[in-house]
Every structure is written in C-alpha cells, then in structure tokens.
Chains A and B, each alone.
Chain A
Amino acid sequence: MPVDNAYQRFHQATAIIRQDAPADRWGTPPPSSHGCSICGRPWDDVEDPGVAGAYQYSSSFSREYECTSCHTVRIPARESLGIEMYRGKAQAPSPGRLGMLPSCGAVITPDNQLHMAVNKGFFTKYQGGAIDRAGQLHQERPFTLLMQLIAEQSLSSVSEGAIFISEWGRKPDRLLGNLQLTRSLSELWCCSDAGAECIDLTALIETAKWLHGRELGTKATRPAFWAPIRQAAQGRAISQEAMKKWAKDIPQPQELLDTLPIDPHTRTRLPRFMADIMPWVEGGYL
C-alpha cells in the first residue's frame, strides 16, 4: 500500500515493537515542545498526533520528546526481539532495542514486513522472539538480505515505498532524522546512523550483468580492475596511457562507462558492490 513518507512506512512495519511498550511509556508532549525532537515534525503531522515518548540520555541532558515512530527504536523489545544481556550483580535482564544494533540492518518491504539482517551474536540472542517466529530474522549482511528479497520479488512493488536500513548503529537520532523512502531501485536510499545515502542499484546490476556477459565477472570484483575509474571519481588526474591500458582488456569500454552509475560516491566503492551483486547475477536470480 502506498505511503507519503518514510515515517509512515516505518510506523506501520514496526507496530510489533511498540506492543512491547507499557502504556505508561506514552504521554502528551509539553506545550514548550513544538515537534518530535528527532524528525522535527510538528505534533499534528506525526502518525499518532499528540502522543510522545520521553527520552533523556543522562541526567545532565535535557528531556526530549519523540513521536511514536521515532521513539520505537528506544523501546526495550522483550517479546519481539529478546533479551540482549544481563546487567550487573543482580543480573537484571536488558532487552534488545532497535537503536542499539551495530553492524545490523533491515529491509522494510512495501507490504510492511520488517526483515532484520543481524550478525551472528544478535541472531543467537534474538532466537525465539516474535520477529524470529515470523521468519523475519536473518543472519545476513544487510545488503545481502536486500539482494535476496529482490531475487524473491518481495520488492517488485517498490514504487509504493520501501526502506533499506544499511546500519541501525548506535545513533538512532541520526538514523531516523534522515530516514528516506526508496521508491525506485535506481534511487536506493541506504539509511544508516551516519545519515542517508543514495545509490543507483539498477545501474550497478546492469553493470554486473554487462561484465558477466563478457566473462569479466571475476575480474570486476577486484579493486585493481576499477583503479582508473575510482581514481577519477576521487578527483585524481588520470593519464591517457593509464586509461588506454585499462580499456585494452575490455571490449567496447565506452559501453561500460555509459552503464556505470553516475554518482562518483558509488563509483569509488565499485569493487565492493560488484562482489556483493555478482553472485546473484551469476546464479541467474536477477
């Protein structure tokens, strides 16, 4: 179902996390607060108008009020995720939170499914939680999970809006303050706790297919193959000889240059992307 912005999609997909929050976690924001302290939207525009969760980093920081969507990442999700650790002498259980998942990510599909990509440690800890029982906890890298969902056609209606979280990280205010909705795979927004970044996945897949079709697939996963392209994208001068030497091994090099994504930030990371995408192209899934 289509949505207007990323927060609506995030809100619908994370309803299961908010079920873990006791009712007294929610209150009304004070009149001095004009909007959610993370996403900045006025209290009338958020998904649950006039409902806020209070958050205080420590006693020397002021109390902040967050909308229900943004506050979701602060909720100790005992039932939906599980217990992350036992703290102190008393071994008090400390449930996991979405905002404290370093090197883990997620994909939210247009039909509001929250697929979590977690590392081995978190995968073991969150076995048996509601998300795991629904089959939506995966021990994968976030980008691999994304490719898997694309291969399964779960993102075929991406124009209705999906979210790709490449890193939950430890700074959820930055993640949710910059949350972006992906409406096309040619503009895939990778949301992380360092901000959101746009990559052209369609062009990357086309590049991988082009290279695979000319039996350059293995070569293309090595950084040396992309050296001149990456150096140019980093703003370094490329000599004509280096470019000619590079073009010698490639049939129709101009065709490859036209297929590559335009964004120089993506071009600097081409070997990594090719290594991630090539197995799916070689397997014939894309």
Chain B
Amino acid sequence: MADEFRLVLRMHTPIIMPTVTPRLDVLLHEAMCRLNQNWEGAHRLPLENEAGANVYCASQLILGSTPDRPLSASSERLVSTVFRQDLYLAGKVKKRFGSTFPDGNRLTPHSAISTPFAIFYGVGDGQACAELLGMLSGIGREHARHYGAFNVERLERDTSSRWRLRPWPIGHPNAWETSAEPYVEDKQSLRPKEKPVGVMRPPRMIREVMHASR
C-alpha cells in the first residue's frame, strides 16, 4: 500500500529546533532502532524510495499553526552543558557550584517554539509510520527532558506532493521549489546512517497555517 499521506501531530510541549531540521525518515529510523534494540546498520522503513535520488519519500518537520494559535517563542534554561566535561572535571565543577543546584545564569538557554501542530508528509504505509512514531517520546533537542512531546492526531490521504520538502542532491529536478520556500545549499545526509553530502534543502523552518484547531 503506497499512498501519499499527511501525518498531523498534536504538540504538547515546546519544540527546541535542532540545527538540522528533523525529518520523518530519520525519526522513523530511530524508532526502528528502538523497536529492534539495534542501533547498528540501516533498517527498512515503511516508506517508498525515490529511485532517481536514492532518498525516502518523506518530508522534513513542518510547523502547523492555526489563526487562533500562532507560533510563540519561549526561552528554556536547562542543564545541558554544565556537565559537558569529562566526569572527573564535573566533580570540580560541582565543587565550584557548592551543593546547590546551578543558578539560572549557569544554565544553557534554548530557543523553544510552541506550536499547536507539527506536520509530516510522506509516501508509503502511513498507518505503520504513525504506529512507529509512537516509539519516540519527543521531537527535537532535549526530547529526553520532555521537550517536543507529541501524539499522532490524524493520518490523512494527501495529493499535494509536499513530501518533496526535504533535502535533495544538488540539481535534482524533483525538488519542490516555490517562491515561498527557496532552497538553501548545505551538507546533510540524504538517508539515515549515511555520510553528509552536498544537498539543496528547504528552509530550516517552514510554517503551514491550518484552518481550525479541531
């Protein structure tokens, strides 16, 4: 069953966007790794392959806002890099802080975005993709600290071809180019577990205005 689909996720906590935008095939691959308890090598995903470019038919994360709930910004301070050093150094750091918890100024500020929905487009077995995403606790950075928590709101058939909003090899004709979403040259991996290569990719942050928050 290979259909174009659109996955709408309802977001419960703010997303901290990583440098590289999360992509459906990469998230599904991580879910597959967790399912099989095997992080070595590549797994088969329930997505169609785009033969010409050797990429999965899966879009990057698209932020879905509604007229009554626009995107909103917040700054989250977390213990992300205080203990980034080797463990023996962390001992020294702790000594310096004393026994108290590090104060706000010592924490790492993250730019988080609250969005009511997140959207992925893809071609393949949408139902299997939706079930696999349930293996993940969240999207984006600090997902282990409950940022980017979601559940799958609905799965729809879709014919807009917006699954092409993803990195493509430079000069590939299948890329989705509109004036609203110009492409940026970058180095990224085209498939999970592969080395970065030169790609054309859409902007890091794409917003889609949805009609009403159902």
Which residues from chain A sit less than 8 Å from chain B, CB to CB?
4-5, 37, 60-62, 64, 159, 174, 177, 180, 183-184, 186-187, 194-198, 200, 232-235, 262-265, 267-268
Contact = CB atoms under 8 A, between A and B. Distances in A.
A61 B73 contact: no
Nearest to A198: B204
A5 B86 CA distance: 25
Contacts of B81: 174, 177
Contact of B88 (A37, A62, A194, A232): A62
A195 B109 contact: yes
Contacts of B196: 4
Interface in B83-112: 84-86, 88-89, 92, 95-96, 108-111
A125 B157 CA distance: 65
B203 interface: yes
B113 interface: yes
A200 B95 CA distance: 41
Given A4-B187, A174-B81, A194-B109, A267 B96 contact: no
A158 to B, nearest CB: 10
Interface residues of B, number: 33
Nearest to B115: A264
Nearest to B183: A184
Contact of A264 (B19, B70, B86, B110): B70
Contacts of B19: 180, 196
Most chain B CB neighbours (cut-off 10 Å) among A183, A186, A233, A265: A265
A186 B203 contact: yes
B205 A262 contact: yes
Contacts of A180: 19
A187 B95 contact: no
Nearest to A232: B70
B182 interface: yes
Contact of B72 (A37, A195, A264): A264
29 contacts: A4-B187, A60-B92, A60-B95, A61-B89, A61-B92, A62-B85, A62-B92, A64-B89, A174-B81, A183-B185, A184-B185, A186-B184, A187-B204, A195-B108, A195-B110, A197-B111, A198-B204, A200-B203, A233-B70, A233-B73, A234-B72, A235-B73, A262-B205, A263-B71, A263-B73, A263-B113, A264-B70, A264-B71, A268-B73
A259 B70 CA distance: 15
A234 B14 CA distance: 13
B184 to A, nearest CB: 4
B202 to A, nearest CB: 11
Contacts of B206: 262
Contacts of B86: 62
Given A183-B184, A183-B186, A265 B85 contact: no
Contacts of B205: 198, 200, 262-263
Contacts of B60: none
A234 B71 CA distance: 9
B96 A60 contact: yes
- The dominant DSSP class at the B interface is mixed
Which 5 pairs show the lowest CB-CB distances between chains A and B? A235-B72, A264-B73, A265-B73, A184-B184, A262-B207
A267 B207 contact: no
A63 to B, nearest CB: 10
B59 interface: no
Given A4-B187, A177-B84, A187-B204, 18 more contacts: A5-B187, A37-B85, A60-B92, A60-B95, A60-B96, A184-B185, A187-B184, A187-B203, A195-B108, A200-B203, A200-B205, A233-B70, A233-B73, A262-B71, A263-B71, A263-B113, A264-B113, A265-B73
Contacts of B72: 232-235, 264
B114 A235 contact: yes
Contacts of B110: 195
A187 B109 CA distance: 20
A4 B196 CA distance: 10
Contacts of B184: 159, 183-184, 186-187
B15 to A, nearest CB: 12
Nearest to A196: B19
A137 B70 CA distance: 42
B74 interface: yes
Nearest to B207: A262
A265 B89 contact: no
Contacts of B207: 262
Contacts of A263: 71, 73, 113, 205
Contacts of A200: 203, 205
Contacts of B185: 159, 183-184
